[in-house]
Every structure is written in structure tokens, then in C-alpha cells.
Homo-oligomer: A and B are copies of this chain.
């Protein structure tokens, strides 16, 4: 590497960040300017990457949890020579269709490992990255998998509650290759951090099983020494780097004015002068750029050596690694496993809760789909997520396939996102559906960033019973269905559950929620179907006897109620049909003709779901009938609650008869 003063290299980041924000008249210059020294040390001396091959599976991961400082990342990607990151992209910062959006988005920018807009998400997602690395190394060997996960995080990341779940889990699991570089700049949007916080972060991390120390974040030697120490630790490491936000800005450095707006022409000029940086907007002198480009090429050799090591693996091992980590294809045994299971279920239809049906599906899937990585937020016996004999992941021992995530729904969701993004595993984790609210910020990242995380959410209605309204989802189906790219399945019996599991595992670019009942459900699917009937979101489960006057739509545990109502209507001479709707939003996404064919033309439409009506009008119309909830639930046995809230076959029949006059 040519010898260029490394503080000039850091100043190149500062200048590009300032210029990018200035041109956009929008963005956050303070963090890139404050952390340029840290980033320079990391990207020139430690980070294992090959700018020419952003997807190299054994690269170190760099996660900018403080995503508002995105110009730091974009400047680094440009400087180190990522092909996609041209100077024009930096000039188009925060504009439509640029590769330089306001916050890093992994689905837009090569080199952005994950989407980090909402504070704390990067920190928590990184735990999944680091865990996936350890799991893969245990499975495929350190020859093929051996990399660090570095996280640059901010005060905001560490104030968010999600950070506690993340660091406690990482500390517990002894994820020693996870290294946090904390931009300890003492400034938040409202002013000095002392307005709202005085946590001793080093002591806090130590209490959670981390190595932690403080350094001067502008002393490049100290930064290097701290990273070197952290790499050797037997636990995850926090390096709290004392920095000056907006470093170099004559009047704004060290103040909240440096955080989230363009500096303005005068302050920008003053900063460049103070930094002794005599170049125009977006201009980087050749010596500095060459030094950076040279750093970006350093990994090429390691990459080549790694490819040789991978090639030397036994065929089966290498092919499996390629399938799971590089091509990310589902197991070819998946379809067969589900087909066999369905045959078995049709032969002897079980009356089980769909959470139990999910366990039955998992018993078939675990051997067939080796990437399946199960877990629960401390509800293992309730979520039915752990199959017989499934070995658990333990601190320092990563050969298991089951994770005790602890009472950390949000931390679990974010960790699963990280695992899925890293590649190699299909994470699926359980909690009660009501606690989707806790997990929601990370679930939104799954949906937004096209991450195939699977959420196993049991106890999906008032059918939960005695635990009461805080544990009974009522609005959760609606709130999840409303989220773009989120797939919600609520299967009605064991066969539908198997089909929904298949669809979840085959979905490459987005998350799936499996909403499962606590209570036993009668089987409704009794014939062998080679096709997956849940694939279009809904289907006619019971055909009418004659021209249907009534279409009854239902999902999950209410499908058996719909079937019973259909029979009662039939006895009264009213022809009706039942449409099972395992996924309302998938039904609505179908092409017009298919959607209309499934919905049908019966003059009376009624939906039955133990949840709020919100969203169902798209199927049944604003004048459609609805049997369900319009309030929170109560604490009582499930049977009493269904009766109390009038979610019964009799209520369906009575509503239909009233409408028919």
C-alpha cells in the first residue's frame, strides 16, 4: 500500500460525506465526520473484504447500525472501489433510484449488509450475523467459514431497548467474533446526551458478559490496538470510542447542529480549511484515492485462497455449502417431505391444535431441510418449536439447531433477520402471536429488506383462553396483513399447516408469519391433494349444493365453524359454500380473474374470524356480514369466550338468515 497519511484518508471520508449531504441538502454529516478515523483503521487494517466481490461469503461483515450516517458507508464503498458505487451515486445521495438512499438498504446497495434505519436494528441484527458465522463454522469447518462481524453503533442504538436483548443474547452465547465500535460522541438530536441518559455503557456491557473498554476515537493507533485485542477475546467486545461529532467543523463540531443537516457553504468551507483539505466538492486526490483503492483490493488474495479451500472440500459438503450460502435455494427434499406428510395426515386426520400440527410438520422437515434453524423466545413447550432430540445451541458450542432466544421477541426477530441475511440457515422462531407487537420493528425490516425470516406465532386468538386480553391477539392479523411484503398464513388444520410451512420455506424474498391455534381443531381437509391449495391464499373448501346464495369465508380455527354453519344452512335449504382463507392478503394479490373466481358471486358474503373485521371488507364488501371480534378479549376458558363473543356456527346462520329476510 502506498504510504499516505492515514488521517488524510480519513479526511477523504469526511469531505465526501459533507459534500454528499450538502448537495442533497439533506442527511447526516456528523457521524461520518466523527467516525472517519475508526472507519479508516477498520477498512484499511482489519476488515476482510474484496471490493470486487461484494458477495464473497467469507467476508467480514460491516454493519452500520447508525444508519443515518449512511454517507460513511457510501464514501467507503466508493473509496475502496465497489464497482456500483460511482462518484455519480455519491452526488445523487438521497435521490430517487440512486444506490445511495438516506439509510443503508441491503436490497439496493452492494456492501450494505442489512437495512439499518430504525435505531438498534443493526446492533440486534448483527447478533444473527455473528451467530450464523459460528453455526456455519461448526457445520462446515473453519477452513470455509471464519469471519468477524463489526458493528458501528451510536448512542441511539444503545438507548433503544432492543440493544439490551441483543447484547444479553450475544454475551450469553459468547459470540466472540462480534465487535461493536461505539461512536461515543455524547450528542443526540435534542442536545447533549446528558439531557436523557447517563448509562455507563462499558459497565453495562461488562454486566452482559462482554469485554468492554474506552478509547480515544480519533487516535488511530489506539483504535487499531483495541480491535486487535477484541479479535482475541473469548467474548463479544465493545470498544467505546470517544469522538467529536462533525469533527473539523469550526462552529458545529461537538454539537447537535452537526448531526442531521447540511453544514451550509460557509461551515463546509471552514471545515475543509480546518482539515487542510484543499479539494473541491467530491474531489479526492490521486494519492489518497489510490491508497484507498489498494486497501479495497487487499482481500482479493484471501478471497482466492478461500475459493481454493472451498474447492478442496468433499463434493457433498461443498455442494451443500453452495446451495445454502451462495445460491440460497430451498432443499430439494422439501416438497417430498410435505407430500408424504400430507398423505399421512389424510390417512389419519388428527384433531390437533395447529401449533401441534406445526410440530408434526417440523418433525418431517427437520431431517429434510438441514438449514432449518428453530427456536423460541422462551415459549418452547407452548410454541411446539422443538422437535424430538433436536440439539440446542449453547454458549461456545454451535453444533445445535435449536436456539433458546430468551424472553426477547424483538431480539429474536432481529437475530433471525441477521441469520437469514448472512446465509446458510432458514431461521424460524416462536412466540405468542400477541407479542408480534414486541417483534414488529424487526418484522418490518424482514418485510422491507426482503428477508425470508419465519415467525411461528401460536395462541393466535381468544382461543388462548384464560391468560386474558393482553395475550389474546385481536388486531394482530390485520396489523400484519397491512404490512407490505409480509405473508401471514393462518392454517385451519394439519394439512393446511403443512402446506403453509412449505410456502414459508419456499418464499425467497420475504418473511412469513404462521398464525397457529392453541386449541384443538377438527380436520377440514380430508382428501389427498398433490397441489398446495394454500398457494393462492384461499380456495373453495366446501362446494355449494346448487347455486350458492352464501359464501362463508374463514381462516384458521374458525374454518370448522364455517363448515358447521354451511351444514346447518344446507339443512335449512340454503345453498352455501365455504372458502378457506389461510392468507387474506395473498388472496387479494391474486390476478383479478382468479381472485373473483375464489370470492365468487353469492349475493351474501360473510366472514368468520376471531379477530377484528378490519381488512375483510376487501373480500366481503362494505355491506358484507362479519362474525368476529370488535373489542379486546377477556380472561376465561376458550369455549366460554367463543360463546361470549358470539363466534359460533349458530351466529353465522342467524346473521345469514337475517340478511336473507
One of A128-136, A481-489, A521-529 contacting the partner: A481-489
Chain B residues with CB under 8 Å of A24's CB are 466
CB distance from A40 to the nearest CB of B (A): 26
Nearest B residue to A98 via CB reads B635
A189-B382, A467-B117, A470-B118 given as contacts; is B196 within 8 A of A404 (CB)?
Answer: yes
The segment out of A11-19, A75-83, A216-224, A431-439 that lies at the interface is A431-439
For residues 84 through 118 of chain A, which have their beta carbon under 8 Å from a beta carbon of chain B?
Answer: 94-98, 101-103, 105, 115-118
What residues of B have a CB within 8 angstroms of the CB of A640 in the complex?
Answer: 95-96
Instruction: Report A622-640 CB contacts with B as 1/0, cut-off 8 Å.
Output: 1100000111101111001
Task: Tell me how far the C-beta of A584 lies from the nearest C-beta in chain B, rounded to whole angstroms.
Answer: 10
Bound-state CA distance A531–B101 (Å) is: 45
Q: In the complex, A378→B195 CA distance in Å?
A: 9
Stretch of A152-160, A284-292, A493-501, A565-573 at the chain-chain interface: A152-160
Question: Could you give, for residues 395-435 of chain A, a 1 whenever the CB lies within 8 Å of some chain B CB and a 0 otherwise?
Answer: 00000000011111011000000000000000000000011
Report Cα–Cα, A475/B620, bound state, in Å.
Answer: 21
Contact call A635/B103, Cβ cutoff below 8 A: yes
- What separation, in Å, do the CA atoms of A343 and B549 have in the docked complex? 55
Output the least CB separation between A264 and chain B (Å). 17
Of A164-172, A451-459, A550-558, A649-657, the segment with at least 4 beta carbons within 8 Å of chain B is A164-172
Interface residue tally for chain A (C-beta within 8 Å): 110
Identical copies of this chain, number: 2
Q: How far is the CA of A271 from the CA of B163 in the complex (A)?
A: 41
Determine whether the beta carbon of B468 is less than 8 Å from that of A117. Answer: yes
* Complex Cα spacing A102 to B471, Å: 10
Choose from B105, B161, B629 the contact partner of A161 (Cβ within 8 Å). B161
CA distance A411 to B380 in the complex (A): 27
Taking CB as reference atom, which chain B residue is nearest A434? B118
Q: Which residues of B contact A614 (CB under 8 A)?
A: 478, 481-482, 614-615, 618
The CA-CA distance from A165 to B165 in the complex, in Å, is 11
Task: Determine if A465 is an interface residue (Cβ-Cβ < 8 Å).
Answer: yes
Tell me if A323 is interfacial: C-beta within 8 Å of chain B.
Answer: no
A374 within 8 A of B: no
Is there contact, CB below 8 Å, between B169 and A101?
Answer: no
Those of A462-478 within 8 Å (CB) of chain B: 465-471, 474-475, 478
Check B168–A159 contact: CB distance below 8 A: yes
Which of B96, B479, B613 meets A644, CB within 8 Å? B96
- Residues of B contacting A381 with CB < 8 Å? 189-190
Chain B residue numbers with a CB within 8 Å of A392 are 195
Q: A404-B195, A407-B160, A470-B115 are in contact. Are A378 and B441 (CB under 8 A)?
A: no
A255, CB-defined interface residue at 8 Å: no
* Cα distance, A489 to B445, chains bound together (Å): 26
Instruction: Identify 19 residue pairs between A and B in the complex whose beta-carbon atoms are under 8 Å apart, listed by A's number.
Output: A26-B465, A26-B466, A96-B635, A97-B636, A101-B635, A102-B466, A159-B407, A160-B161, A160-B407, A161-B163, A161-B164, A189-B380, A189-B381, A196-B405, A203-B207, A204-B204, A438-B441, A447-B632, A614-B614
* Chain A residues close to B by CB (< 8 Å): 24, 26-27, 67-68, 94-98, 101-103, 105, 115-119, 155-156, 159-165, 168-169, 171-172, 188-190, 195-201, 203-204, 206-209, 376, 378-382, 392, 404-408, 410-411, 434-435, 437-438, 440-441, 444-445, 447-448, 465-471, 474-475, 478-479, 481-485, 612-615, 617-623, 629-632, 634-637, 640-641, 644
Top 10 A-B pairs, shortest CB-CB distance: A117-B470, A161-B161, A196-B406, A101-B635, A164-B164, A617-B617, A203-B207, A479-B479, A96-B636, A478-B482
